[in-house]
Structure 1
Amino acid sequence: MQMDAPHGPEPNPAHAYTQQRTHTSDSARTHTPRRTTPCCTMMPQPKNIIDLSQPLATDKVYACEGHPRFNVCCILHVSNGTFATVHSLALATHTGTHVDVPYHFFADGARVGALDLALLTAMPAVVVGLRAKGPREKITRDDPRPYAVRMQHDIWMGCSPLTRRG
């Protein structure tokens, strides 16, 4: 597969690249490149994507007591003649939007690098309201059960439970 830059004075960012495909003619059996639709439209398009990530800010508390606070510091900036702007980040693994992997709870559990990213994308989700839970109160497997009964579906099978807390 070969990628080409678009032609024309002002390319549309959504069509930044087009894909070159090799087309085989049945009669001549020759290969001729054929320009097709942009790559981004060739992929299966999900019906609805909701970005659940939250922005980070230094004035918010994200982590548990004892964890380092989130901090960002500009080390180099192009306005000072450097090649690129570079920032230093300090944060705990539980800062902001994150995934708790099995290793977080079990010494022999899978680490984040071993997770199949398909588990984290394009998955049906169920919003479970747990506003009655306190800020540090443990969420148990039984807490969302009333939602599963009402929906006549076990939300732990094939769906991602998203908790809404107060």
Structure 2
Amino acid sequence: MATGRASVHSVADLANFSTRQPVSCADAACASESLTMTTVRRPNVLRWLWYALGGSLPARHREWVLHDATRPTWQLRHFARACVQLGLITVPVLLLVSGPLWVRAVATLLGWLVGLQYVLYTADGSVEYRVQRAGYPPGLAKRIRDDATADERAAAAARYARRYRT
């Protein structure tokens, strides 16, 4: 490639990620970075806001969408997107709804609590849908996250078995 970037794996290679070893990583925590073998191109602020509100990103950002969905902080990123959405509702409620400020503030707070609870319950499916919309096969982000934490989960299962099964 003339741009100096390494080539990106095909979707078929990505679907078989669970059987491959990371190319340039010593640990599984950076598996999705080595998965794409390219510099992840972040969207600009306006595109990120569009993405946070549920819009799709152009194809040049598809690696970033996968990166966003597979980092160890993917849940925090998902909550940040939800806060942007909730913030759009908060401002009009606080400014335009009549009544005492404390009632509007409490209503907003309760709305945020319900909204963030809903975000917590739907996080996996929402993030998977974003990755699928970026052109990746269904379930890929969860597979990458599971592969990255497989050793930790195996160690936890072994500790559980030693403690409660013996």
Name the TM-score class by shorter chain. Answer: under 0.3
Higher share in helix: 2
Q: TM-score, normalised by structure 2?
A: 0.21
TM-score (norm 1): 0.21
Higher relative contact order (CA 8 A, sep 6+): 2
Structure with higher Rg: it is 1
